């Protein structure tokens, strides 16, 4: 990350979810935005919308990398929508755009994002999402997840 660039944190998870999970994602979005980090997500509903809503409520900035080729498909909390037209292959871009990934429960799309994040050496924090082994950092609450993510995003990286 260039000096002067803000940390970017991805929040991934189901496109449809319970109100409880959506609120948890919102809380994460709020906390990372309040600390000056940028939120990146898939730009659609459920966890993605919850996280973006929280980030906007805290005055943050949100980026949505969409599967479709139309900006109109982004949820209303997305500041900058990138309509890829690449379908689920956009998942790989969501995690590459971030320093750290926070994963909420989701199906196989979420699993692919966690896999690509680990492949790209992005730390993955799981809030009750897929537990894939010791590389995944567990968190129980939005507060824990956000604190861990901000700490890891601030850490100097040795990207190749």
- Which positions lie near its own copies, rule CB under 8 A? 1-2, 5, 8, 38, 61, 63, 65, 69-72, 74, 76, 80-89, 92-93, 96-97, 107-109, 111-112, 115-116, 118-120, 130, 132, 159
Reduce the DSSP state of residue 144 to 3 states and report it: helix
Least separation in angstroms between residue 142's CB and its own copies is 24
Least separation in angstroms between residue 82's CB and its own copies is 5
Pick 8 or 24: Cβ nearer its own copies? 8
Edge to edge, what strands does the sheet with 8-12 contain? 80-83, 62-66, 38-41, 8-12, 100-103, 124-126, 136-138
Least separation in angstroms between residue 120's CB and its own copies is 7
143's CB contacts (< 8 A; 6+ apart) are 27, 31
């Amino acid at each position: 990350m260039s000096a002067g660039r803000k940390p970017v944190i991805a929040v991934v998870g189901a496109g449809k979810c319970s109100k409880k999970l959506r609120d948890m994602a919102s809380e994460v979005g709020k906390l990372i935005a309040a600390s000056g980090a940028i939120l990146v997500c898939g730009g659609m509903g459920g966890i993605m919308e919850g996280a973006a809503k929280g980030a906007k409520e805290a005055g943050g900035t949100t980026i949505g990398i969409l599967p479709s080729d139309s900006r109109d498909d982004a949820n209303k909390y997305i500041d900058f929508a990138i309509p890829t037209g690449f379908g689920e292959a956009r998942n790989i871009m969501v995690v590459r755009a971030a320093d750290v990934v926070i994963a909420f429960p989701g199906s196989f799309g979420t699993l692919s994002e966690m896999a690509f994040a680990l492949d790209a050496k992005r730390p993955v924090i799981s809030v009750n999402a897929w537990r894939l082994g010791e590389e995944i950092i567990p968190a129980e609450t939005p507060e824990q997840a956000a604190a861990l993510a901000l700490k890891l995003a601030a850490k100097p990286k040795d990207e190749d």
